[in-house]
Amino acid sequence: MDETEVIRLAFIDVAIFSDSSIRGGILTTDIETRPYEFRATSPIKPTQLQQILYGGSLKDYVYNELICVPLVRATKEKLSVVLVKESYLLAMRPHVSVPVILVQDEHNQVLEGLKPLSLIFSSHKNFTNELSYAQTILIPIAQKHNLLEPFKRLELALTEVNRMGVGEKGKGA
């Protein structure tokens, strides 16, 4: 990692709402986890026909190809690493040019404001060589900040975007 390189973390997640719509969001931060950029998708509602035709591959297609990959490509900041908290989102990695890392708390505790005791970082099975690079960025940050907390902010922001109807036909922010 170049010493002059500006570190930008991207936290990305997908939410399903009570009306069955699916939205994704990306929160780009600095090393202090302060926001630089936030983007959310318009709601996606797979039709019954799409559910039938795609079957078990629908989730992977919608979450990764329709939501996550476009969000990563649309960011204005040059991303150092994309963080996800769900293993199925690692499937976006072959389609983007930045390392995608799964971050999990070994003890499954996401306590407000507290740093998890031990984080586990994982990568896409075809990109395991990126794990050590990502760890050189993430471990020092994780010693100062809870790397799972921005996912909570992202979840709340997606809920608010959905409540406001942003991106729905005839509605805006």
For residue 4, CA distances in Å to 1, 7, 139, 166 come to 9, 9, 18, 37
Q: What CA–CA distance (Å, rounded) separates 26 from 140?
A: 22
More confident residue, 83 or 115: 83
Contacts of 166 (CB under 8 A, 6+ apart): 40, 42, 172, 173
pLDDT at 21 over 80: yes
Q: Is 83 helix (H, G, I), strand (E, B) or coil?
A: strand
Residue 60 exposed, middle or buried by CB count within 10 Å (0-12, 13-18, 19+) = middle
pLDDT at 10 over 80: yes
Token pair in block for residue 100: 């995608």
Mean pLDDT of 113-120: 65
Query: Considering the chain, what is the average pLDDT of its residues?
Result: 88
Mean pLDDT of 148-168: 92
Q: What is the pLDDT of residues 131-152, one digit of tens each?
A: 999 999 999 999 999 999 999 9
Binned at pLDDT 50, 70 and 90, residue 117 comes out as low
pLDDT at 155 over 90: yes
Token pair in block for residue 94: 């072959």
| Domain residue limits, the chain | 9-164
Q: What is the pLDDT of residues 38-60, one digit of tens each?
A: 999 999 998 889 889 999 888 88
Q: Is 37 helix (H, G, I), strand (E, B) or coil?
A: strand
Helix (DSSP H) and strand (DSSP E) numbers for the chain: 5, 6
Q: What is the pLDDT of residues 59-87, one digit of tens each?
A: 888 999 999 999 999 999 899 999 999 99
